[in-house]
Amino acid sequence: MKLVTLQRAVARAVMQPLTPSEHMRRSAPGGGRMSAYAARYIKPNDRLTSFERLEIYNRQYWFRVLGSMAEDFPGLRAILGHQRFEGMCRAYLAECPSRSFTLRNLGARLETWLRRNPKWIRGDRTLALDMVQLEWADIEAFDGKGEPALHSEDLNGSSAPSLRLRVQPYVKLLELHYPVDTVALKVREDHDADFASNTLVESLKTARIQAVAAVQPRQIFLVVHRIDFSVYYRRIEREEFTLLSALRSEKTIERAIELAFQRSSISEFDRGGYVRNCFQTWAALGWFCQPDENMRGQKAARKEYR
């Protein structure tokens, strides 16, 4: 038997959902008895049958992936409650099992899946989807690709209207319907303290429920980014969000500014200072990438022309 055949057969059994009592199913993938399926690939020993040996891996797989989902989406768990969250995770992972060597990517398809399966977030749809977006952005901001940063001093003389600036890949821009950043931070604080006494744990659970219940709809614009391996949430104004989004989509600075101030309440007199402050702040935070070779060529051509 080829190794790849064995790996695929065992993976199919290991990823098969558990029974309600958290044991391996008696039916094998594709039909038949699991005991016979296990015996084809797993040897018994003097203590365990083939079925029992395979069951250990089946259970540990599900305990680990469910634990990983709870770690990655504590805010969504607080919104849905433990039972509904776990049921949702089991259904999601059965349809979208791990396809990566790392658990980091486990929730990559969760938002899309929830939009196709809204029954799991009925009654909390918009709030839940906002939270999923935020918590997945948190993961991507933490270990997403980063390129050499363009600093504030590099912007001097480089802000020609036709210039295109590139935003760091790990900088995530979110337009949300609820201020879920405050809920996420509250849940995270409580989660970090859960190792304490049972009395404190119960009070923290109550605080979590109250934090979710208290959140009211309010549009916010959020940047999720990192500094020194820590993730931060930064609320910004609509104009700033539009400007950054336009730059991310490779609009020129001139066009990005035009888009940012459409229907803006900021007076024309104040717009120049507003834009300068935005660019200086973003550069100080390292949100811009060093220009690629095409951009360098454009800058050189402008210098020669002048």
Residue 100: φ, ψ to 5°: -130, 155
Q: What is the pTM of this model?
A: 0.86
Whether the per-residue pLDDT at 304 is higher than 50: the answer is: no
Q: How far is it, in rounded angstroms, from Cα 52 to Cα 67?
A: 22
What pLDDT is stored for residue 244 in this prediction? 97
How high is the pLDDT of residue 303?
41
Backbone angles phi, psi at 288, to 5 degrees: -100, 145
pLDDT range class, residue 306, cuts 50, 70, 90: very low
Q: Give residue 301's pLDDT.
A: 44
Interval 92-104: pLDDT, tens? 999 999 999 999 9
At residue 299, the pLDDT reads 46
Q: How far is CA 285 from CA 42, 56, 104, in A?
A: 54, 47, 25
Q: Is the pLDDT of residue 204 over 70?
A: no
For residue 302, what pLDDT is reported?
43
At 251-282, the pLDDT tens digits run: 999 999 999 999 999 999 999 999 999 999 99
Render pLDDT for 215-259 as a digit per residue (tens, 0 to 9).
899 999 999 999 998 999 999 999 999 999 999 999 999 999 999
Reading the block at residue 117, the tokens are 């399966």
Residue 297 pLDDT grade (very low, low, confident, very high; cuts 50, 70, 90): very low
Asked if 62 and 91 touch (Cβ cutoff 8 Å), the reply is: no
Split at pLDDT 50, 70, 90, the class of 293 is: low
Whether pLDDT at 201 is above 70: no
**What 8-state DSSP symbol labels residue 262?**
T
Pairwise CA distance, residues 137 & 114, whole Å: 16
Mean pLDDT of 22-47: 95
Q: What is the pLDDT of residues 108-122, one digit of tens each?
A: 999 999 999 999 999
What is the separation of C-alpha 236 from the centre of its chain, rounded to a whole number of angstroms? 19
Say if strands 230-236 and 172-176 run parallel, antiparallel, or are unpaired.
unpaired
